Chains A and B, each alone.
Chain A
Amino acid sequence: MRQLVIWLPALSLIFAMAVDVLVENSSKYMLVKHSYFLYLLAVFFVVFTAIAITSYFNDKAKSWLAEKSLFVAVTFLSLNIVNVVTKKLGLLPVIYFPSLDKILGVIVEDREFLVLCLASSGKLLFTGYFFGAIAGFATGIAIGFSKVAAYWVNPLIRVIGPIPATAWIPLVLISFPTTFSASSFLIALAVWFPTTVMTSSGILNVQNAYFEVSSTLGAGKYYRIFKVGVPASMPHMFIGLFNGTCASFITLMTAEMLGVRSGIGWYINWQKEMMAYANVYAGLIIIAVIFSILIVLLFKLRDSVLVWQKGVIKW
C-alpha cells in the first residue's frame, strides 16, 4: 500500500500521457505546433519518478511524498480531465476554452513578450508598493505617537481610506503627467491605507509598561519610538503590509486594464479583445504564479523579522 502511495503521482502522469497520446482528438481541436501538454507531463513524470526513487533512501523526500503524493496525483488527474474535455471531446466552445496545448504554447512561444509585460508590471508594482509602504509607516508612526498628528490625520484616513484606490482612476489619470506615475500613485495609495491603519493600531496596542521600562532605563523620546514602539508593533505592520500587497495586486491589474498600455494586466485585456483566450489563460497562470511567489516572499521576510514572537500571532 505504502509503495503504491509513493508511486501515485508517476502513475497519474502515465495515465494522463496515455490518454493524451492514445485517445483521438476532437474534430474541433485546433492543431498546435507541439503537444506542449504532453511535454509538461513528461517533465513532471521524470521529476516525480526521481523523487519516488530518492524516497527509498532519503527520509525527507519520503515524508514529503507521503504527505503530498495524493494531492499531486489528483492535481494531474484534474488536468487530465480538463485535457479530455477540451482537446479530446471538445465539449466546451473551443474559442473560450482552448486546449492546454494551446495555453502552454502561448507561454512558450510568446515568452519574450510576456517577460517584457511582466517587467513593466513589476516596475509599476514595486515603485508604487515602495512609496506606499514608506508613506504608510511614516503616517502610522506619526498618528500612533503624536496626538496632534492623530487629531488632523485620522479624519482624513477615515474618509479617504475606505475608498478603493481604483475608484480614483478617472481623476488620477488626468491629473498625472504619465500613466506610469498615475498608476504607481494609485498602487501607493492602495498600500498606504492598510499599512497606516495597522501600524498605528499596532503602536497604540503596545503595552505602556514597555515605554515605562524603557524610560527608567534611560531611553529618550525618539529611542522609545523607534526602538520600542516600532519593533513592538511589527506584527501588526506585517498584517498591514500583507493587506496592502493584496490591494496593490488588485489596483495594478485594474490600472493596467483601464489606462496603462503595457504590463500583464494590459496583455490579458488586449488578448481578450482579440478573442485570443489561450493568451488570456496564459496571462492568468503567470499572474497566479508570480503573485503567489511574492506572497511567499513576504511571509519569509515576516518569519525572519519576527523570529522573536514564535507562537504569538498565527495567520
Chain B
Amino acid sequence: MVGAIKIEGVVKRFAQQGAEDIVALNGIDLTIKAGEFISFIGPSGCGKSTLLRLVAGLGEADAGTLYIDNEEIREPTYERGLVFQNPMLFPWLNVHDNVAFGLRARKVYKYNKAEVDKFIELVGLSSFHKSYPHQLSGGMAQRASLARALVNHPKVLLMDEPLGALDAFTRMNMQDELIRIWQERQTTMAMVTHDVDEAIYLSDRIVVMTPRPGKIESCIEVRLSRPRARSNPEFLNLRSRILRILDFAGQVKEPNYYL
C-alpha cells in the first residue's frame, strides 16, 4: 500500500503587514497510514487548510518536514490530488475535458481515454460530459472536480471542505459516494471539514485542531463499523466528545422549563 504521510514538527507562519506574523501551524506532528481516511476538524484559523496545502506541496513549511512514503514533499504532483470547496473546474473546458485535464497534462491521455468516461460515469455525470461548468449545478460541478482528481489515480486525495457548499441531501449522497470510492480504490483520504457529523460518518480518525497558534488538540479514533448510522449511540457520544474538545458543548444547564 502506498500513500503514507508523515508530518514532523511543521511550522507555518504568514507575514502580516504592520503586525506580528500569524502562526498558522505550530509544531505539527502526525502520521497518516496508507489507505486511511482522516479528517481535520476545527474552527476557522486553526490551520487545517494550510496543513492540507502543505501536504499537497503548495507552499513551504517554515520549519519541519513532510514525507510521503518516506520521500520529502517538495512540490505538487498528480500523486496528491486536491479538491477545493469551490469546484474550480476550468470554465473553458467541458466536463469531459476537465476530467481529462490531468491525463493530457501528463501526456498519458491517449493510453487512458477510457478512464475519463469511467470516472465521469462513477460520479454520475455521463449525460453531462459535453456540458460546460456554467451549465452544472453546484453538486454536479463538485462531483466533476472529484472525478478530475481521481482519474489521475492519486496515492492521496486531499479534500478541503469538498462538500461544504452543497445542500444537505446532495451532501449525504456525496458522502456515501466518497466512502464507496475510498473502499474501492484504497486511496489515502485526508479531508478538512467543519461538519462534525461528516467527520465521524466518514473517517477512521479525526484530528481536532485549535487556533492561535494552530495545533493538534487531539486525535480521535472512530471505532465504528461501516456503513455507519448517524443515530447510533456511539456516534452521538463521539459527537459530543468532539464538541466538548472544541468547547461548543458549554455548560449543560438544566432547562428552566419543558415544552
Q: Does A216 contact B92, Cβ atoms closer than 8 Å?
A: no
B79 nearest in chain A by CB position = A218
B80 nearest in chain A by CB position = A216
* A218-B84 Cα distance, complex, nearest whole Å: 16
Q: Does B132 contact A218, Cβ atoms closer than 8 Å?
A: no
Is A307 on the interface with B (CB-CB < 8 A)? yes
Q: Does B132 contact A228, Cβ atoms closer than 8 Å?
A: no
Q: Does B152 contact A218, Cβ atoms closer than 8 Å?
A: yes
Expressed in whole angstroms, the minimum distance between the Cβ of B77 and any Cβ of chain A is 7
Q: Does A216 contact B86, Cβ atoms closer than 8 Å?
A: no
Expressed in whole angstroms, the minimum distance between the Cβ of A297 and any Cβ of chain B is 21
* A207-B84 Cα distance, complex, nearest whole Å: 13
Q: Does B132 contact A217, Cβ atoms closer than 8 Å?
A: no
Is A113 on the interface with B (CB-CB < 8 A)? no
Main secondary structure of the interface of B (DSSP, over half): loop
Chain A residues with CB under 8 Å of B93's CB are 231, 308
Query: What sequence of 0s and 1s flags, for each residue 211-239 of chain A, a beta carbon within 8 Å of any chain B beta carbon?
Result: 01111111110010001100110100000
Expressed in whole angstroms, the minimum distance between the Cβ of B209 and any Cβ of chain A is 22
Most chain B CB atoms below 10 A, which of A207, A217, A308: A217
Q: Does B105 contact A212, Cβ atoms closer than 8 Å?
A: no
Is A170 on the interface with B (CB-CB < 8 A)? no
Q: Does B91 contact A308, Cβ atoms closer than 8 Å?
A: yes
Q: Does B102 contact A217, Cβ atoms closer than 8 Å?
A: yes
Q: Does A217 contact B88, Cβ atoms closer than 8 Å?
A: no
Is A209 on the interface with B (CB-CB < 8 A)? yes
Main secondary structure of the interface of A (DSSP, over half): helix
Chain B residues with CB under 8 Å of A219's CB are 101-102, 105
A213 nearest in chain B by CB position = B88
Q: How many A-B residue pairs have CB under 8 A?
A: 77
A220 nearest in chain B by CB position = B105
Q: Does B86 contact A209, Cβ atoms closer than 8 Å?
A: yes
B89 nearest in chain A by CB position = A213
* A312-B92 Cα distance, complex, nearest whole Å: 12
Chain B residues with CB under 8 Å of A213's CB are 82, 84, 88
Q: Does A308 contact B92, Cβ atoms closer than 8 Å?
A: yes
Is B96 on the interface with A (CB-CB < 8 A)? no
Chain A residues with CB under 8 Å of B77's CB are 216, 218
- The residue from B58, B78, B158 contacting A217, defined by CB atoms under 8 A apart: B78
B135 nearest in chain A by CB position = A310
Q: Does A307 contact B58, Cβ atoms closer than 8 Å?
A: no
Chain A residues with CB under 8 Å of B101's CB are 214, 217, 219, 227
* A162-B253 Cα distance, complex, nearest whole Å: 71
Q: Does B88 contact A309, Cβ atoms closer than 8 Å?
A: no
* A223-B106 Cα distance, complex, nearest whole Å: 9
* A232-B91 Cα distance, complex, nearest whole Å: 8
Chain A residues with CB under 8 Å of B86's CB are 209
Q: Does B82 contact A218, Cβ atoms closer than 8 Å?
A: no
* A219-B82 Cα distance, complex, nearest whole Å: 13
Q: Does B149 contact A308, Cβ atoms closer than 8 Å?
A: no
* A223-B108 Cα distance, complex, nearest whole Å: 14
Q: Does B81 contact A234, Cβ atoms closer than 8 Å?
A: no
Sort chain A's interface into a size bin.
20 to 34
Chain B residues with CB under 8 Å of A232's CB are 90-92
Q: Does B92 contact A309, Cβ atoms closer than 8 Å?
A: yes
Is A311 on the interface with B (CB-CB < 8 A)? yes
Expressed in whole angstroms, the minimum distance between the Cβ of A174 and any Cβ of chain B is 45
* A223-B90 Cα distance, complex, nearest whole Å: 14
Chain A residues with CB under 8 Å of B148's CB are 217
Chain B residues with CB under 8 Å of A223's CB are 105
Chain B residues with CB under 8 Å of A71's CB are none
A219 nearest in chain B by CB position = B105
* A312-B132 Cα distance, complex, nearest whole Å: 13
Expressed in whole angstroms, the minimum distance between the Cβ of A262 and any Cβ of chain B is 42
Q: Does A216 contact B82, Cβ atoms closer than 8 Å?
A: yes
Expressed in whole angstroms, the minimum distance between the Cβ of A216 and any Cβ of chain B is 4
Chain A residues with CB under 8 Å of B149's CB are 216-217
Is A39 on the interface with B (CB-CB < 8 A)? no
Expressed in whole angstroms, the minimum distance between the Cβ of B143 and any Cβ of chain A is 15
Q: Does A210 contact B134, Cβ atoms closer than 8 Å?
A: no
- The residue from B84, B94, B104 contacting A209, defined by CB atoms under 8 A apart: B84
Is B46 on the interface with A (CB-CB < 8 A)? no
Asked, given contacts A209-B86, A217-B81, whether A310 binds B102 with beta carbons under 8 Å apart, the answer is no
Q: Does A218 contact B134, Cβ atoms closer than 8 Å?
A: no
Asked, given contacts A216-B56, A218-B102, A308-B132, whether A210 binds B92 with beta carbons under 8 Å apart, the answer is no
List 5 extra interface pairs beyond A214-B105, A219-B101, CB under 8 A.
A212-B58, A220-B105, A228-B90, A308-B91, A310-B134
Interface residues of B (CB under 8 A from A): 56-58, 75-78, 80-82, 84, 86, 88, 90-94, 101-102, 104-106, 132-134, 148-149, 152, 158
A-B contact pairs, 30 of them (CB 8 A): A209-B86, A209-B88, A210-B88, A212-B56, A212-B76, A213-B88, A215-B57, A215-B58, A215-B76, A216-B56, A216-B57, A216-B78, A216-B80, A216-B82, A216-B158, A217-B78, A217-B81, A217-B152, A218-B77, A219-B102, A227-B105, A231-B92, A232-B90, A234-B92, A308-B132, A308-B133, A309-B91, A309-B134, A310-B134, A312-B134
Q: Sort A-B residue pairs by CB-CB distance and give the 4 closest, nearest first.
A: A218-B78, A217-B102, A219-B105, A216-B82
